[in-house]
Copies of this chain bind each other. A is one copy, B any other.
């Protein structure tokens, strides 16, 4: 059965998944602290001007800019000191021509003033006169009313992933509750007759479950709510029951293991039984990670991940992380943005995208990448790595000294 499926490129596999994906998990209201790292389910617009008044950005003197034209160290402009702005208070009164008011950083510009002279460029001659040594233009050292946001302006679009600064913008706008996507529940299943819980001492032929914990960590790091659903033996009925339960309670399901051809086919058959469209691809032209099954069952993505932990982790990075963050595969920025100089030749087959574990260092102000060699079944190789380097499909390898794109862990 496997042989009937053609291995897909990363782009093709993503397009297939995106085309069959159901709507994202429902939305819920969240306070700003709860909303970090989640997608806005509704766009947010500004109601008020922010700031609501012109503010000084420095400690100094509010002035009419034209009163300072031509001022210099040798020919200061002398202004009458007739007022003082207090923090958090309305600046009542009017600054008349030839006058200056003392103003602190963040203070409200008095009516009549259109600029602030930094205290460093002034000299207080006496309590009633200030000398300005350097001219200012209208608007200098001032944030205008509405300069940060204007009423009605789109602050953040629907789908925006909220970062710390976005929380600040929302607070500035007076928005303290937002509608965000629920954290996706990710069901994690390990399969294989050889796999035992990490708390158990493996017998001959047995190994402890590694993938569940790597995938759990990756899902958590991507902002999801992972749930460990245990280990299932290589049994069709058991697999079917477990997958059905996982699909009932989760938004996305991962089943890893079943590395051997027969077992993968069983998982694929189970997925086709559970709902439409079922399996979308069976095999991706990547290394490691080729024996991956991608499915959508009633709108929910399900991945049959390879049993080798490095392979499963790479496929998660490429296919699951973007879904959990964006519920789509956005294409705005490169996924491997760090440029590093490869320290050793690496071969790669043309027509296959390769992902190399690398250890990074700095030499002569440049980042170097030392490949971590070793089988994809060895989790220790992924632990020794700082990131994944990428070799595109059209290359047959990368030579030592070439620059290569890296995604940091």
Contacts and interface: CB of A to CB of B under 8 A. Distances in A.
A228 B214 CA distance: 33
B333 A213 contact: no
Interface string A28-62: 00001100110000000000101111010101000
Interface stretch (A158-166, A239-247, A272-280, A294-302): A158-166
A390 B169 CA distance: 24
Interface in A82-111: 86-91, 104-108
Given A213-B170, A333-B362, A106 B375 contact: no
B205 A168 contact: no
A189 to B, nearest CB: 15
A73 interface: no
B193 A176 contact: no
A334 interface: yes
A308 B141 CA distance: 13
Interface stretch (A64-72, A348-356, A376-384): A376-384
Interface residues of A, number: 106
Given A214-B167, A217-B164, A307-B106, A172 B379 contact: yes
A89 B206 CA distance: 7
A94 to B, nearest CB: 15
Given A261-B59, A378-B147, A213 B88 contact: no
A396 interface: no
Interface in A207-247: 207-218, 220-221, 226, 228, 234
A408 interface: yes
A30 to B, nearest CB: 13
Given A163-B217, A207-B51, A378 B171 contact: no
Contacts of A129: none
B167 A88 contact: no
Contacts of A201: 48, 174
B216 A164 contact: yes
A116 interface: no
A143 B164 CA distance: 44
Contacts of A52: 202, 204, 206-207
Nearest to A198: B171
28 contacts: A36-B220, A50-B207, A53-B205, A87-B194, A87-B205, A87-B234, A88-B194, A104-B259, A104-B260, A105-B307, A106-B192, A143-B375, A148-B378, A164-B214, A164-B216, A164-B217, A164-B221, A165-B385, A168-B210, A168-B383, A169-B380, A170-B213, A171-B209, A171-B210, A171-B213, A173-B208, A176-B198, A338-B338
Given A53-B204, A104-B260, 7 more contacts: A33-B220, A89-B193, A104-B259, A148-B377, A172-B208, A174-B201, A334-B362
